[in-house]
Structure 1
């Protein structure tokens, strides 16, 4: 919280659903307002990834104030979120610019048809509400890096021309290939460390907000050189 106060920001967290949906509102003068609704699970909320994204947006040039709401539940699929109805209520409650969809990590591999059907239903509804659908392409398990290609392909096929792809998995793959000393995974070989969450937030930042350069101050506890490297990887993946 001190980091935010030092920047003249107000961070508000409001519980709006029993499954853990939160609203972050960054109030700051002279910034562009952007609203995002995240629908997903622990790959979305781990290490407050949406909060990291808001920090990056507030620190970059041009400066953005993000209004972010999350509808999240551990292990939930997009089909389950549709059935629960909480995400749909959040979608219809206000006008969003972006709605981010994140399938359970192995869903695109274990049930590609079910994933595609659920994502397509969400994307159609999101567009009907006047928002832009965004697909959060997640990372492969640490012990199965060969699955990344399958995950990428499943998300790309599902998105078609209807959604923006945020290629987080590709960024993780690049770091793993270039520098294995940077730990992206928790010991469970699935969830993100702070490194992984920061890299994820950087990919969202460069994809959705398209800054003119990748240089940002380091607002985390990561070493400066490491934070800058993760920023560069996110920039490279987005530009390519």
Structure 2
């Protein structure tokens, strides 16, 4: 079906027919679970030729497909363009923003979602959930501690890896000192510099990567918690 839609476009379909074909092709990809291709196809739709309600539907589908593809940051960019005109849209906005790490904005849409049919008994629990949203570790602290192996790794919750890093740095320092004390100045200076460049600088880069990775993982875990919470609110009391 996707091929036939694309053929219709290339065979000189009118603007309206081309848009309908692109939307049909995107739906095929979506049904197949090929969400990235579905969102890319929707991106080819000529929005200026659509009615306002059709434009909103295409934008909503783009946001949804990006979300299902795991591209949460891109999905969140559509929040300002898609009017929150239904409970489904509010849910998508809340989840897209939560998984993108935009917790304050997500909380607003989540509160509107659970209050769609009136005052919700889950509101305080929702506020408590968002009050515990992830906070990234301080990059400056991680950088400073990286110069003192294994302190940086311990700060990032990797003590075993930190001990290994400290051991490698100790070996590099010992090699440099032994070479200098033995009179091998060139070997000590050049070899020691190279060794420390790999061990110490590698430790610094690793700690910076750990800060980013841990925050990314914690954001995804929080997004899962929000999704599970909102799903629970749909169950009858």
Q: Same fold (TM over 0.5)?
A: no
More strand by share: 1
TM-score by length of 1: 0.26
TM-score by length of 2: 0.26
Larger Rg: 2
Larger relative contact order (CA 8 Å, sep ≥ 6): 1
